[in-house]
Structure 1
Amino acid sequence: MLMALGVILLISIVVVGGDRGVVSLIALCGNLFVISLAIWLMASGMPVLFTTIGAGFLISCITLFYQNGSNVKTWSAFIAVLLTMSILFFAVYFVIWKSEAGGLNEIQAVGEDVFYYNMNLDINMQKVAVSVIILSTLGTVLDMALTVTTSIYEVKMHRADLKMKEVMESGIQIGREVIGTTVNTLLFAYLGESLLLFAYLKIQDYSIEIILNSKILFQNCVSMIFGAISCVIVIPIAAWLMAKFV
């Protein structure tokens, strides 16, 4: 079934996207390879955070430069993503370290399947939690940054008389228009993945205090929240850089 769905996806991308669809498909395969390599390196003993930074850098290059070419739009987006993810990295590290949110959550720790696996892993699970949030957030930040820089480029091409401040304000306004749909996408992606979890919590009749203070809720929500925060932060950064470059 997975192979059949993969073939359907491949055909759809090629038919609808044409040459650009093929490039996007190759970029997707490249990103999957980078993620797989990062997982292998972490499991082999490489520093988790160092590997995460390297994987994020490669994914950004593949997504922006290979898929969209090397131009002022992609370079502006790339720099904006680097600045945003640098800020986010320290924030995520601080939150995860203070909350001790790494490792198995309450349901995973008592599940029957846990007895079939060796839990003696020589990996810092808090650093793995940071890596998961950073890499899961990177996609939305790349998308938002490129949306803003591309929109500003089109505005400037059609209104060459606009000053830098006006161009930047146009980019921020465009970001405001799409931030709502981006946050909704992150929210419903989380809710869709957690429907069974919510049903389980309702059946077990856990109190609201236990749920709000549980590790499982924190782990599921923190990626969504940091994703939304990073999308908001990258808008003015990308708008300022693109306005300055054009």
Structure 2
Amino acid sequence: MSVLLMLSIILFVLMLVVGGVKGIGAFISLWISFAILVVMMLLISFQFNPFWVLLIGGSCLLTVTVLSAGADERTTTIALIASFLVMIMLLIVILPTEHLAIAQGFAEENSEDLEGLSLAINIDFGTLGIVAALLATLGAIAEASVAITTGVGELLNERPNISNRDLIDVSQVLGKQIIGTAVNTVLFGFLADFLSLAVLFGKLQYTFGEIINAKLFTSSMLSLLYALLGVLLTLPVTIGIFLLYQKRQKHHTSGEKL
């Protein structure tokens, strides 16, 4: 039995014990997301338009992640809309930033591993950098969106006639707590990935200026900033969608009374 299979079985058992049916759904969604990523990589390697592959595949990944939360219809719909909007906003930010940073492709530190291999893969590394940068943020976006939407949804269930001002104030307090946790999760994940890179820089005796200008460091830092920006954008976008939802519900209720 391979290590991967053994860990997968342990994960499945734990998710079944802790989450029950929802745990099984989350486990299945994990492998569905993995399959979507594999299909995206194959399509890009077959010379399909990377941006269309990114938009369609990213939308599928967000949909699977949000649906795996097992929330009610309203929470799922609002979380999906918020996630899609934040994804588009991040793509608008990532496109010019990646072109200006020129941090895509392999760095000098990879030269020994790539020796004897051909880099003539006929795919623009700049485009691949954009695809990788956005994909790295989708998990954080979906997680924060579902958490905020679920919390605000529970608030509306308890106080359906809450005013817009009170809804904004309470949502901001709730969102800040959720975002604080999500930001820490993203930050700790970055620090764990950066640990080996920091050791490499230390062994090579890089100066501070060389570290800042290293392509590996720049790409890692940009991925962190994109994820943090996505998490921060999720709060106002989700609150805005809830306000529109409340306005529509009140208008619909008023129409029924008339």
TM-score (norm 2): 0.90
* Deviation at residue 80 of structure 1 after TM alignment: 1.1
Give the match for residue 236 of structure 1: 236
Equivalent residues in 2 for 1:17-28, closer than 5 Å? 17-28=19-30
Aligned partners of 1:214 and 1:99: how far apart in 2? 11
Q: Distance in 2 between matches of 1:66 and 1:145?
A: 13
SS of 1:81 mapped into structure 2: helix
Cα deviation for residue 45 of structure 1 reads: 0.7
Over 3 Å counting, the alpha-carbon distance change for 1:50 and 1:70 in structure 2 is farther
CA distance in 2, matches of 1:66, 1:18: 13
Larger deviation: 203-212 or 178-187?
Answer: 178-187
Do the aligned residues in 1 keep the contact of 2:104 with 2:129 (CA within 8 Å)? yes
- What is the identity, as a one-letter code, of the residue corresponding to 2:11? L
Report deviation, 1:69.
5.5
Mapping of 1:149-228 within 5 angstroms? 149-228=149-228
Deviates more, 1:129-138 or 1:169-178: 169-178
- Secondary structure at the residue paired with 2:115? helix
Retained in 1: the 8 A contact 2:69–2:146?
no
1:50 to 49, 52, 64: 52
Equivalent position of 1:9 in the other structure? 11
CA distance in 2, matches of 1:3, 1:107: 32
Q: In structure 2, give the amino acid aligned to 1:20.
A: K
* CA contact 1:102–1:126 (8 Å) conserved in 2: yes
Which amino acid counterpart does residue 131 of structure 1 have in structure 2?
V
1:114-151 per-residue CA deviation (whole Å, 9 max, x = no partner) reads 12432111111111111111111011111111111111
**5+ residue gaps, structure 2:** 247-258
CA distance in 2: counterparts of 1:55 and 1:64, whole angstroms: 14
SS in 1 for 2:118: coil
Matched residue of 1:68: which SS?
A: coil
Aligned to 2:20, the other structure's residue is in SS state helix
User: What's the CA shift for 1:70?
Assistant: 6.2
1:135 paired residue number: 135
Counterpart of 2:61 in structure 1: which amino acid? I
Structure 1 unmatched runs, 5+: none
Which residue is equivalent to 1:120?
120
CA displacement at 1:164 relative to structure 2: 2.3
Give the superposition deviation at 1:42. Answer: 0.5
Residue 152 of structure 1 aligns to a residue whose secondary structure is: helix
Structure 1 distance, partners of 2:244, 2:45, is: 42
On the 8 A contact 1:164/1:244 being kept in 2, the answer is: no
8 Å contact kept, 1:102–1:125: yes
Aligned-partner residue type, residue 119 of structure 2:
M
Q: Deviation at 1:89?
A: 0.2
Structure 1 pair 236–228 and aligned structure 2 pair: CA distance change class (3 A): same
Once residues 50 and 188 of structure 1 are traced to their aligned partners in structure 2, the CA distance between those partners, rounded to angstroms, is: 31
The aligned residue for residue 82 of structure 1 is: 84
Task: Output one character per residue of 1:168-222: Cα deviation in whole Å (capped at 9) or x when no partner.
Answer: 3222221111222222211111111221221121122111111111111111111
Deviation (angstroms), 1:55: 0.5
Q: Percent identity, please.
A: 21
Query: TM-score, normalized by length of structure 1?
Result: 0.94
Deviation at 1:32, TM superposition (A): 1.0
2:43: which partner in 1? 41
Q: Which has the higher contact order (CA 8 A, sep 6+)?
A: 1
